[in-house]
Structure 1
Amino acid sequence: MQVFKEKEPLKFAIATLKSEGKSLGLVPTMGALHEGHLSLVKEALKACDKVVVSIFVNPTQFNNATDLEKYPRTLEKDLELLKQLDQDLWIFAPNANELYGENIISEHFDFDGLENVMEGKFRNGHFDGVGTIVKRLFNIVTPDKAFFGEKDFQQLQIIRKLTEKSNLPVEIVGCPILREDSGLARSSRNERLSDSHREEASFIYKTLLETKELFGTKSAEYITRWVEEQFQSHPFLELEYFEIANTKTLKKINHKRKGNQYRAFIAAYANDVRLIDNIALNN
């Protein structure tokens, strides 16, 4: 397994690889790796001749300085997990100056409104930060395919829009959400929860499953009220938002229309730990 801290040696290795006609996959991560990340790497390994895993806690996508400070950084543990998975992986683990230079600021993007709802509404500038770092990684790594989890479904759609509008020759592959035994979506932030709080947080997924059941017979307005009431009576979790949205546009719906695909999205706080999840409501 080869670890690159600087982009130029990585770009040279990639140029050599591509001169041999081999395909390249990229799995961008912020580290603190868990089974969810590893499932993305496994998918990439099946689809590509060589896989680059980037590990970088991107400062420009945090609108909360405390959240950035508390985000777990476990590089040595991450490298060990990846080594156990496949010893031929390439790891790109740069520092902020390597990717941003002296000015650690975001580029501004227009994602046709995808960036203004849900996460974008509550995390000002978040998707400018995501777009900036993903575009830079794509330009450095030049992957044929890049792999992202559906837990961050809004991010996945935004990255698809980024590649479309920037004419980047990268196929974006969305991978299913991996869950803990309780149903809680796997996330690096889960490590900040106590065992009891981790179990309580599975309420998020249970609520989504019930939402899927209700969606067959109830209106979006009814379901939204019902979810808000469920969280109001929960002693531990605080709901930030719940929305039923069109999968393609991410716009909140008032009425269901035949032929459209919909998902339910939740963001909630478990003490100071922010958790997100979503579920497809019709397939």
Structure 2
Amino acid sequence: MFYLLNNLIQMKILLNNETLHKTLKPFDNIGFVPTMGGIHEGHISLINKSIKYTDKTIVSIFVNPKQFNSKRDFISYPSNIKNDLAILKKIPKIDFIYIPKFKDIYESKDKSKIVIKRSDKILCAKFRKGHFEGVLDVMDKLTNLIKPKKIFMGKKDYQQLFLVKNFIESNYKTKVIGCKTIRNKNKLALSSRNFLLDKKDLKKVENISKKFLKLKNEVKKHKYINKFLGQTKRKFEKLLDIKIEYLENRNVKNLKISNKYLKSKIFLSYHFKGIRLIDNF
């Protein structure tokens, strides 16, 4: 009990930019974990990495409306500040939680000038117009405010990690560290959107995930991997009663389409009962 209370005293919640600047000013080696809430074990693994490799760790909780290309998706996003704080307060050695308001992030009303290249309009960028411009915009603003030495992000959102890493490391003296995807005992990649599923549907999605994960070994047998994945996409849509946006094998270094097994990942996005889920393996 004393240990938990001691941790609550140490962790400081920052609710505006003035407090943020004043609190972080004395520190240099800051680790930053950006989140939109819906805290789960995947987030916790990122936080523990930051605690291990930096002197101070700050976690942000901010549901950024500018990265949603659907108002319905924004409204239904599963964020619960009270629940998130209850989870975060149990993590030893976490230092700061930053919970800004919209005006704290978007102090300037100037329109963002961030535009992603045509070659990057693949995978999620192809299906979510303006999404990554919104992601890069908020990461630009958060990095400028916090000035972290390192940012820790998960590889489940691999395209996001790829774009953010290239952007931030080109514009700041900040390293973006990609951390492994955390899966539950049934091999489903952890995601805040999983909270939108009831127990029955979660079980179905876990079974769907297992079927897709088996593809990683199956593609070894095929010379034209993406042709095989195209055939599998049509088969799985009927078999699993889902709508697949993409199922593609791409190079991990540049995200270009690849028919090679080595140094590549299979990227997946699909809709199950109106919920959009992504993975890579």
Does the TM-score normalized on the shorter chain lie above 0.5?
Answer: yes
Within the alignment, does 1:246 sit opposite 2:251 as a pair? yes
Q: Which residue of 1 aligns with 2:33?
A: 27
Q: Which residue of 1 aligns with 2:42?
A: 36
In structure 1, which of residues 247, 270, 273 is the aligned counterpart of residue 272 of structure 2? 270
Q: Which amino acid in structure 2 is aligned with residue 169 of structure 1?
A: K
Moved more, 232-241 or 35-44: 232-241
Within the alignment, does 1:10 sit opposite 2:20 as a pair? yes
Once residues 173 and 77 of structure 2 are traced to their aligned partners in structure 1, the CA distance between those partners, rounded to angstroms, is 31
Q: Is the 8 A contact 2:35 2:62 kept in 1?
A: yes
The within-5 A match list for 1:189-200 is: 189-200=193-204
In structure 2, which of residues 117, 133, 138 is the aligned counterpart of residue 133 of structure 1? 138
Within the alignment, does 1:85 sit opposite 2:85 as a pair? no
Q: Is the 8 A contact 2:208 2:240 kept in 1?
A: no
1:126 CA drift (Å): 0.5
Unaligned runs of 5+ in 1: none
Q: Is the 8 A contact 1:204 1:277 kept in 2?
A: no
SS of the aligned residue for 1:129 comes to helix
SS of the aligned residue for 2:27 comes to helix
The within-5 A match list for 1:1-283 is: 1-18=11-28, 23-86=29-92, 88-101=94-107, 103=109, 106-111=112-117, 113-114=119-120, 116-166=121-171, 168-218=172-222, 219-253=224-258, 255-256=259-260, 261-279=263-281
Q: Which amino acid in structure 1 is aligned with residue 20 of structure 2?
A: L
Q: Is the 8 A contact 1:242 1:266 kept in 2?
A: yes
1:6 CA drift (Å): 0.7
SS of the aligned residue for 2:221 comes to coil
Question: Once the two structures are aligned, what percentage of the paired residues are identical?
Answer: 33
Q: Which residue of 1 aligns with 2:7?
A: none
Aligned length: 270
CA distances 1:2-35 after superposition (whole Å, capped 9, x unpaired): 11111122122211123xxxx2100000001011
Once residues 144 and 117 of structure 2 are traced to their aligned partners in structure 1, the CA distance between those partners, rounded to angstroms, is 19
Q: Is the 8 A contact 2:226 2:249 kept in 1?
A: no
1:128 CA drift (Å): 0.4
CA distances 1:172-210 after superposition (whole Å, capped 9, x unpaired): 111111112221111111111121111111244323322
Once residues 100 and 120 of structure 1 are traced to their aligned partners in structure 2, the CA distance between those partners, rounded to angstroms, is 23
Once residues 226 and 239 of structure 2 are traced to their aligned partners in structure 1, the CA distance between those partners, rounded to angstroms, is 20
Change (3 A) 1:107 1:70: farther
CA distances 1:198-229 after superposition (whole Å, capped 9, x unpaired): 11112443233222112222121342134213
Moved more, 209-218 or 263-272: 209-218
Change (3 A) 1:105 1:199: farther
Q: Is the 8 A contact 1:247 1:262 kept in 2?
A: yes
1:102 CA drift (Å): 6.6
Unaligned runs of 5+ in 2: 1-10
Q: Is the 8 A contact 2:149 2:173 kept in 1?
A: yes
